[in-house]
């Protein structure tokens, strides 16, 4: 029988939170190998062929990831940011939000879930956001970002239902990291000098504690960094 190497995979490992996940997972000593995937090493979340190739490489190396984290996301880029009104809606920018925040994680699941353990616990997680909760929306705005994160949350639920029929111990979830001192949140008061925001390592550590505490019965649900469930 082929011997599989226990691994963790972090998609978007060049970002602030993604890099922190890699550091935290390496420091835990729980994995034989921690693999970070990002554009610098040829991984493109918007290109399914790139995602499939990365999964094929892991399979070829007999790596069995029992934790896969998609830490990628887009909120602003260049002169584009979250929309404040209908007048700012733009098909290209909305499409970009969906491609990175929802479609990309779903395609990672398509190609990486089959590599994960079938008879033991495995965790697939993607970074979502509290603003993706429809029931919690009191302010409106941020149309593309909110809608793409809400779509991600629905995809997580769908994937969990389908995958638990095949792998009862699987946990598929999404996480809200809080406001973190990264470039993503910097324009909104979450920059590197924001004293009331989490550092990337603090946020990643808290989220890993949540992931390690989840049971298969909680698959398909969305959780914040403090373990509190976020309602759809």
> pLDDT tens for residues 136-157?
999 999 999 999 999 999 999 9
Domains recognised in the chain with CATH numbers: 5-230 (3.40.50.720)
Check: CB of residue 17 under 8 Å from CB of residue 200: yes
Distance CA 94, CA 99 (A): 9
Q: Quick one: tokens of 206?
A: 């808290």
% of residues, the chain, pLDDT over 90: 87
Give residue 185's pLDDT. 62
Distance CA 188, CA 117 (A): 39
Write the pLDDT tens digit of every residue in 155-181: 999 999 999 999 999 999 999 999 898
Distance CA 137, CA 133 (A): 6
Write the pLDDT tens digit of every residue in 69-79: 999 999 988 88
Compute the average pLDDT of residues 97-107. 98
User: How far is residue 137 CA from its own chain's centroid?
Assistant: 21
Query: What is the pTM for the complete model shown?
Result: 0.93
- Whose CA is closest to 128, among 195, 14, 210? 210
Distance CA 174, CA 11 (A): 14
Write the pLDDT tens digit of every residue in 3-50: 678 999 999 999 999 999 999 999 999 999 999 999 999 999 999 999
Compute the average pLDDT of residues 104-120. 96
Give residue 181's pLDDT. 85
């Amino acid at each position: 029988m082929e011997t599989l190497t226990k691994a963790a995979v972090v998609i978007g490992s060049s970002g602030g939170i993604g890099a922190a996940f890699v550091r935290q997972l390496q420091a835990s000593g729980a994995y034989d190998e921690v693999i970070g995937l990002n554009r610098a090493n040829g991984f493109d979340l918007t290109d399914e062929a790139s995602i499939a190739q990365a999964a094929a490489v892991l399979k070829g190396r007999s790596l069995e990831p029992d934790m896969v984290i998609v830490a990628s996301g887009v909120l602003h880029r260049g002169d584009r940011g979250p929309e404040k009104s209908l007048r700012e809606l733009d098909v290209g920018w909305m499409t970009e939000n969906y491609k990175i925040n929802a479609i990309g994680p779903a395609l990672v699941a398509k190609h990486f879930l089959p590599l994960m353990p079938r008879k033991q616990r495995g965790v697939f997680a993607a970074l979502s956001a509290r603003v993706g909760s429809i029931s919690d929306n009191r302010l409106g705005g941020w149309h593309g970002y909110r809608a793409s994160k809400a779509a991600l949350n629905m995809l997580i639920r769908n994937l969990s239902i389908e995958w638990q029929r095949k792998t009862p111990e699987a946990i598929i979830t999404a996480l809200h990291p809080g406001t973190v001192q990264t470039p993503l949140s910097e324009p909104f008061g979450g920059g590197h000098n924001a004293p009331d925001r989490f550092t990337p390592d603090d946020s990643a550590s808290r989220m890993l504690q949540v992931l390690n505490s989840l049971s298969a019965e909680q698959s398909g649900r969305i959780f914040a960094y403090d373990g509190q469930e976020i309602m759809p």
